[in-house]
Chain A
């Protein structure tokens, strides 16, 4: 009885996802292996992989994702620890400081970074004032600037899962490890980090997926010269109408990010790692 009710209620959304989400992706997969005369061939993939520029774009995109994951982790872990050591009031503030940017429009955040990274922005001005640069510099249209912006934009995606774990964690655990004589770093590495590991991997998946596909931020902050996969795909379809090629490119994007994410997800579910949680 329970089960039939369950199936009836879940059926519409299941059907919707199968028909309108997974089926189109299947069609895309079929299209990507169609040759010019409608025969099945891997020509599109071969063309892509033989094209140094295209392969470079794919490689740059994955590298960009990796760089953002690294910087997000470097800043996200201390935020989580700060949260862990704070009282209720400060914890609330950290939560708001995480939620607000996360819920703020991506375009708005990207716009803010144009102001920050530009020639007349705060970074350029402070560099000049500190005497580190003789003239105003712009970090717009550089990969450094893009990584800085994406780090801020994706940080909440890692911080939120981390503080979700910590808000339910038992403070006595780490107290115990300190009473037993472990230093701060040691308690962090042996008690907190194992507890956080699944959430870190889960956050990495979100950050990587979001950073590699953030069309607006990549286009605006990266500019015309730095091209990543989303813009590359859009150019193939929107401007060149190269359907089979675009299908192949986007499938490679899907597969390559998919492999990275699957790897991370499996790590997160790994029995020994998850056992700590």
Chain B
């Protein structure tokens, strides 16, 4: 009797794990596949599954005459994300390096300041930033969008870099200086390469997040600074333009390619240390 009970109980466990777990994995990934399939639709509506397949929406998307606003928005997004990544790199990697060297107690006290943007809603922050900007007699602009993105996303870079910085062995640096290398040379040749994997992973995250950001851009961008996610948002709200599916297809492909590159690069960069 007890045996049967236990069998039933264990069976229900496996249904929970394999059945519901399998469904949940499918649930996570299915919408991505649907977006990709949808981008090859032949029709003008978003019927799924599509009745026929073609590249017409990709052609429409790449046609610079018909899709000029989308191209402008994409270029803006790319340049904002590029500058944001660069800015985050410049403040957050040194910060991670520095914090790893501070005493445990100081570091735990100061850390929440550096990580605050990760937990506070960025929508509220961008509203606050706009309030300050307009009270200073200025208005939304491209520059403020970049600055806002750097502030909000630098913590991502900080977090990935810190994980690496904590593992950098100070004795390696000591060895380098003892052997006669200058402090600058030691920093450039020993410390910086060791920090690279964290910076690379962080750079990837910051770039993707900045490309996708709406809440900061919404408040801080002037009408001229249109960005891709807001342009897509407008296209979805206005007419459910199937070109959105084509943009989605391209973005997903770019994500996969970048993910593979970063995964390949991280062990490679790490390998240089040893």
Contact = CB atoms under 8 A, between A and B. Distances in A.
A207 to B, nearest CB: 12
Contacts of B245: 111, 115
B95 A14 contact: yes
A24 interface: yes
Interface residues of B, number: 89
A78 B21 contact: yes
Contacts of A101: 28-29, 31-32
A13 B158 contact: yes
B252 to A, nearest CB: 6
A104 B255 contact: yes
Interface stretch (B61-69, B118-126, B264-272): B118-126
Contacts of A17: 113-114, 116-117, 151
Given A3-B102, A111-B245, A233 B10 contact: no
Nearest to A118: B46
25 contacts: A5-B101, A10-B95, A16-B150, A16-B154, A17-B117, A21-B151, A75-B23, A75-B27, A105-B212, A105-B248, A108-B35, A108-B232, A109-B31, A155-B24, A185-B10, A188-B13, A209-B121, A213-B122, A215-B123, A216-B214, A230-B215, A233-B124, A237-B127, A238-B219, A253-B123
B256 A100 contact: yes
A204 B12 CA distance: 26
A183 interface: yes
A10 B94 contact: yes
Given A12-B91, A116-B48, A107 B24 contact: no
Interface residues of A, number: 89
Contacts of A113: 31
A114 interface: yes
Interface in B9-55: 9-10, 12-14, 16-25, 27-29, 31-32, 34-35, 38, 45-49
A106 B229 contact: yes
A276 interface: no
A193 interface: no
Contact of A155 (B22, B28, B114, B244): B28
Nearest to A80: B21
B259 interface: yes
Given A21-B117, A115-B38, A155-B28, A27 B14 contact: no
